[in-house]
Structure 1
Amino acid sequence: MSGRFDGKVALITGGGTGIGAATARRLAAEGARVVVTGRRPEHIEKIAYETGGRAVAGDTSSLAHIEEAVAAACDTFGGLDILVANAGVELFGSVETVDIMDWRRTLEINVEGAMLAARVAVPRMRQRGEGAIVLVASVAALSGAPHYVSYLTSKAALLGLNRSLAYDFGPENIRCNALCPGWVRTEMAERALGEFAHAQGITLEEMIAKVVGPYPLRRMGNPAEIAGTIAFLASRDAAFITGTTIVADGGGAIVDIGTLAFAS
């Protein structure tokens, strides 16, 4: 049976675990050839083996690494059609307390890494006559949270990058969209929630129940669900969608905190 991505080649940054790994599996299952990048070779090599893809270890904030990954896609599979800019870090602190190196590192990976990936990918997409870019942001781009200044700022910046890419390259049939997941059960999310739980003297599961309690769906997402949304945005099913931001958060964005006191 043919898939939506037959003949397509995808590059997924941060593809070794969580949303990135699930996206590699989903795109490959629908026919894509995938290249996955990440800083931990053992993780991306496992995903590449599972998907029949290619692993390129490195740091997404390095232009040389991005050039190597895009070259690997073109040399191994003949071109590049899809970029999923998923690599990211999550470090804590307020404007007063954040370590300046943590601040810079977060922006380098979360924002500059996505920009560099697009910078190198776009010319290759142009050669194919079309392309699709998906920037994995966060609901943190749309709201506030305590002691999260570097992460919130970086994810909000991705929404500006999304609009810029969509506007500049839409005439060449290269689309770009952003996805803002809510709490998804990934290694990074569990690490962050574990820190919150420790600070409050409760267990991780108690912390999870607390943060998703206001969600209409009353649960965290799983990476495969987010991968499904990414696959939609990357596919021709979304051919007339560009420059937009999709929220996948179990309904959390619709909750008015002023009404929570009345919830049963």
Structure 2
Amino acid sequence: MGTLDGRVVLITGAARGQGEQEARLFAAEGARVVLADVLDDQGEDLAKELGALYVHLDVGREDDWVAAVAAAKEAYGKVDGLVNNAGILRFNTLVDTPLDEFMQVVQVNQVGCFLGIKAVAGELAEAGGGTIVNTASYTAVTGMAAVGAYAASKHAILGLTRVAALELAPKGIRVNAMCPGAIDTAMSNPAQLDPEADTEEMARAIDGLYRKLVPLGRIGRPEEVARLALFLTGEDSSYITGQPFVIDGGWLAGVSVF
């Protein structure tokens, strides 16, 4: 028996990184997974490997959400779980951030999360209840220089999570947020996407950085975030809603002087 037997869960940004690991783990735990992304080739290949459904979804477009939910219902008859994983990161000082760049980050991270909640809430209620897991960030609960647009959008996700939890609880829908710190994906290490980059050298540099910053002495793994998403989607968290869960190796606790 899998933790998610019988559940139909839509995961955004599922073609790679955290979303890919969530899709793999959820499928292994018995869920019928709907992988959603704009990286169609990667998403379709992964869906074929997992025996899952892939849908093209630009999370900032409401029409795409309507189509994705309709495709999930056509394939599986219902939707009773959502992991809002899709997100983008841009580095810039706040005063040097162009408005277009700021709005691009907000459209994907914040608006995408809002549209996801809006698109699935009725379906979850119709299924008798369900779960929504929003991916916020370590920067949703503290500040960090050079990621102002990203931090603003992730702070907003915590507000959306709390309001949605309050409004949807009477319908049997639980809504929680994950707040990952530095995780070893292409977002934190763009060299993974550059075929000419020295990925080993970049990995060593990143490892050295987080050995100093993070009490546990390393960068996080996407599989670890996936396990938190599984917990918040499954029955082990049945009395938890409206909460942020920090998964950062102790980074938020402070900086060690030893």
Q: TM-score, normalised by structure 1?
A: 0.91
Q: CA deviation at 1:208?
A: 3.2
CA contact (8 A) 1:91 1:150 kept: yes
Q: CA deviation at 1:95?
A: 2.7
C-alpha distance in 2 between matches for 1:184 and 1:77: 32
C-alpha distance in 2 between matches for 1:190 and 1:93: 16
Q: CA deviation at 1:52?
A: 1.1
- Name whichever of 57-66 and 238-247 sits farther off: 57-66
C-alpha distance in 1 between matches for 2:87 and 2:125: 26
Aligned match of 1:67: 66
Q: Which amino acid aligns with 1:14?
A: G
Q: TM-score, normalised by structure 2?
A: 0.93
- How many corresponding residue pairs? 251
C-alpha distance in 1 between matches for 2:172 and 2:120: 14
Deviations 1:139-163 (A, max 9, x none): 0111211121100000110000000
Aligned match of 1:157: 156
SS in 2 for 1:55: strand
Q: CA deviation at 1:38?
A: 0.9
Aligned match of 1:22: 21
Q: Supply the RMSD in Å over aligned alpha carbons.
A: 1.7
**Alignment of structure 1 residues 92-241 onto 2, 5 Å:** 92-191=91-190, 203-241=202-240
C-alpha spacing 1:156/1:67, structure 2 compared with 1 (3 Å) = same
C-alpha spacing 1:212/1:165, structure 2 compared with 1 (3 Å) = farther
CA contact (8 A) 1:35 1:72 kept: no
1:84 aligns with 2:80: no
Unaligned runs of 5+ residues in structure 2 are: 194-200
SS in 2 for 1:20: helix
SS in 2 for 1:123: helix
Q: CA deviation at 1:114?
A: 0.8
C-alpha distance in 1 between matches for 2:61 and 2:206: 35
Unaligned runs of 5+ residues in structure 1 are: 195-201
Q: Which amino acid aligns with 1:160?
A: G
C-alpha distance in 2 between matches for 1:224 and 1:119: 28
Q: CA deviation at 1:7?
A: 1.0
